[in-house]
Amino acid sequence: MFGIGVQELVVVLVIALIVFGGKNLPQIGADMGRAIINFKKGISERPVDEEKPVESAKKTEEIKNQ
C-alpha cells in the first residue's frame, strides 16, 4: 500500500490523533472521503462535445479564409 508499512501507518494515525483530537478525527476522515469522491466525479464528467485543439484550429483557419 504505497510503500507504507504498519508501523508508519500507526505513527501517522497517532500524530493525527494528537493534532486533531479524537472527536474531530472521524469528521475529518468523512470530509476527506467526500472530497476524493467529488474529485473523481469531476474528472470523469468531462463534456462529451469537447473539441480537440486541432479541430478547433482547423475551424478557425476556415473562418479566416472565408
| Segment 22-55, tens digit of pLDDT | 888 889 889 989 999 999 988 887 665 555 666 6
**Which pTM value belongs to this model?**
0.48
Would you call 4 helix, strand, or coil by DSSP? coil
- Rounded CA separation 52/55 (Å): 5
3-state secondary structure 6-44: HHHHHHHHHHHHHHHCCCCHHHHHHHHHHHHHHHHHHHH
Is there a contact between 25 and 16 (Cβ–Cβ < 8 Å)?
yes
Q: Determine the pLDDT at residue 2.
A: 67
Residue 42 cell numbers, joined: 469531476
Residue 1 cell numbers, joined: 500500500
